[in-house]
Every structure is written in C-alpha cells, then in structure tokens.
Amino acid sequence: MPRTLPEPSVDSFDLTVILSALADPGRRALMTALFRSSEPVDCAVIVEEADLGLSNPTISHHYRILREAGLIRSVADGRKRIVRVRREDMETRFPGLLQAVLGGH
C-alpha cells in the first residue's frame, strides 16, 4: 500500500537546491526534529515537535521542498505521510553536511 513519493536519485543531488532548502529556518526546524530519530516517523508528529506557527499548506510546501532536494524520503501510507532523513544518500554525496548544519544545538 505505501508508495514512496517522487524523489531525486543520489546522482542528481544539487548542492544549490540542498542549501536553499536548508537555508529556511522552518525547514531546518523540521529537519532537526527528523534528524533526532533515525526511524521513519509520522510527519505530523514532527510538525508538532517543531512547533512552527505555520498553516498546513505551508508545512506541506516545506516538506515538498525537502523531499525534492533529496533531504528526506516521504512515504504515503493511507492519509499519513511517513518521513525520514536520507542520511546515507546525503553522506554519500556531501559527507558531514547534515551533521554540520543540524548537529550543533
């Protein structure tokens, strides 16, 4: 049942797109929350943790940006979305980047 939403292959990762995605504070808050748990998580839980004051359309938009940048994988399971950080893929292409951006505090 669950289908993985469209995402870029590791080879087509684009540093400009990735850094633009990470440059937004809201998206970085989502990523930081996601980065803490290495397990796939219900995206709504992450939204609660991050506690941004943003509307649903905006949150959805941010998740899309993160996904299309290759930072996260998003799996549609029923009405829910299960998300996780693409750690290994990121590590392959840009080693140390996620740690440097999200690791500190």
Partner DNA sequence: CCAATCATTCGATCGTTGTCGAATTATCAT
Partner DNA sequence: ATGATAATTCGACAACGATCGAATGATTGG
Measured from the CB atom, the residue of 20 and 92 that comes closer to DNA is: 20
Q: Closest distance between its own copies and the C-beta of residue 85, in Å?
A: 15
Q: Reduced to 3 states, what is the DSSP secondary structure of residue 3?
A: strand
Nearer CB in complex with DNA: 52/92: 52
**Which residue has tokens 């993985």?**
4
Binding site for DNA (CB under 7 A): 1, 5, 20, 23-24, 26, 42-44, 47, 53-65, 74, 76-81
Question: Among residues 28 and 67, whose Cβ is nearest to its own copies?
Answer: 28
Residue 86 contact partner, candidates its own copies, DNA, none, CB within 5 to 8 A by sort of partner: none
Cβ proximity to its own copies: between 81 and 86 the closer is 86
> From DNA, its own copies, none, which one binds at residue 9 (CB under 5 to 8 Å depending on kind)?
none
- At 22, which amino acid appears? L
Q: How many CA atoms lie within 13 A of 85 on its CB side?
A: 24
